[in-house]
């Protein structure tokens, strides 16, 4: 695979990682809406589950963001060669 083809492939992967991050952020937003709705009709079990889901989604965003940053550095390094 030529360097240019490899760069194109890596950029497509980076775009998919961005989509994953955006999806997780959207999930966090939806979870926050449910948590807010639960203020009006409390449900301790559901609140606990939503808090756990929020934490997991946040962790996923952090993981994907870190992976994207590292991957983007690799892309930049390859593109400078």
* 27-49 per-position pLDDT tens digit: 999 999 999 999 999 999 999 99
Q: Exposed, middle or buried by CB within 10 Å (0-12, 13-18, 19+), for 70?
A: exposed
Q: Which of 59, 57, 33, 29 is nearest to 46 (CA)?
A: 33
Structure tokens at 12: 């497509």
**Euclidean distance between CA atoms 13 and 66, whole angstroms:** 14
pLDDT range class, residue 71, cuts 50, 70, 90: very high
The answer to whether residue 1 scores a pLDDT higher than 80 is: no
> What pLDDT, on the 0 to 100 scale, is given for residue 75?
96
- What is the Cα 43 distance to its own chain's centre? 28
């Amino acid at each position: 695979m030529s360097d240019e083809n490899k760069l194109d492939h890596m950029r497509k992967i980076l775009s998919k990682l961005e989509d994953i991050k955006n999806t997780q952020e959207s999930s966090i937003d939806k979870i926050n809406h449910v948590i807010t709705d639960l203020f009006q009709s409390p449900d301790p079990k559901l609140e606990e589950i939503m808090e756990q889901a929020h934490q997991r989604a946040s962790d996923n965003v952090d993981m994907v963001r870190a992976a994207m940053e590292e991957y983007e550095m690799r892309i930049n390094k390859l593109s400078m060669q």
